[in-house]
Amino acid sequence: MFIDYAALVTTQTDPTFLKSKTAHIEKNMGFPEGFVKVVQNKRDAEIPKRGLFNAHRTIYQTAVDNNYKHTLLFQDDVYFLEPIKEEEYAKFLNERSPEDWDIFYLGHRSELWEPRYIKKTNHKNVVKVMTNDLHAYIISQPCAKKMAALEWQGISADYTLRWATDNKAYASFPMKAIQGGRISSPAFMNGVSERNSQYIRYVTKKPFNFFDSIYYTFYMIINQPLFFLSSLYIAFFHNNGE
């Protein structure tokens, strides 16, 4: 198996929710039951972003301490739009040395108002990115070691990771996992935004391709209702916890 360790980072304690979420992840990743480990962290009431930073840093340190080559991290708002097969990411990453890639996102948010990008690679369904979000990503051992050594500097965990992995970050295209949550939650709006932004960025990707631009512009416009309705489905019918 390509993945050595998979962790679900969460502050939730409801055993029914945790069982449901890990089962959802394992089913869509093709993992055996019990493979995804729940890593609970206490909320940082003073600085919530610091709490999230330290939670992910704990996983990085676990990867370093146990010599895990490939570690997969999830947050508890992750929702898979469709299953992903190991060969969809392992083939691409195995062709590179551990020092040539840092992060592989299964889902991310490449918004337009910040210095983020999507670039085409020579592999179908894999793009090079500068992006955000921590709800579903694979981290290499060298990157985990680098990130574990960082201290909290007042910058959120996703921004820290983004700047630390520029030019060595890749993602699945289209993304397989989005954020999902109740309608009133940021995760709900992020889930809608993530799918929109990936196509907007892909329309203007480098190198520019006229036919891709036309195709994905129309694809995004036509599928807008579907994006929103599927997020509504997640909000009402998926176990989103507390």
The H or E element containing residue 102 is none
Residue range 217-237: average pLDDT?
93
**Domain contains 194:** no
pLDDT band at 217 (very low <50, low <70, confident <90, very high): very high
| pTM for the model | 0.95
- Residue 41 near residue 107, CB atoms below 8 Å: no
CATH number at residue 74: 3.90.550.40
Mean pLDDT of all residues belonging to the chain: 94
State the pLDDT at residue 111. 79
- 241 vs 63, 121, 133, 180, 196, CA distance in Å? 27, 37, 20, 11, 25
Task: State residue 98's pLDDT score.
Answer: 87
- The answer to whether position 195 is within a domain reads no
Highest mean pLDDT among 6-10, 108-112, 155-159, 198-202: 6-10
Q: Is residue 139 part of a domain?
A: yes
Would 230 be classed as within a structural domain? no
Q: Name the residue range of residue 108's domain.
A: 5-179
What is the rounded CA–CA span in Å between residue 166 and residue 153?
A: 18
Three-class DSSP category at 227: helix
Please indicate, yes or no, if residue 32 is contained in any of the structural domains.
yes
Distances (CA, A) of 37 to 9, 33, 238: 9, 10, 20
Per-residue pLDDT band at 166 (split at 50, 70, 90): confident
Angle at alpha carbon of residue 201, lines to 196 and 124, rounded to 5°: 100
28-86 pLDDT, tens digit each: 999 999 999 999 988 888 899 999 999 999 999 999 999 999 999 999 999 999 999 99
Q: Could you tell me if residue 25 is inside a domain?
A: yes
Give the pLDDT confidence score for residue 240 in this predicted structure.
87
Task: Kindly state whether residue 212 falls inside one of the protein's structural domains.
Answer: no
* Dihedrals phi, psi of 5, to nearest 5 degrees: -155, 135
Q: Report if residue 88 sits inside a domain.
A: yes
Number of domains in the chain: 1
Instruction: Evaluate whether 72 touches 7 at the Cβ level (below 8 Å).
Output: yes
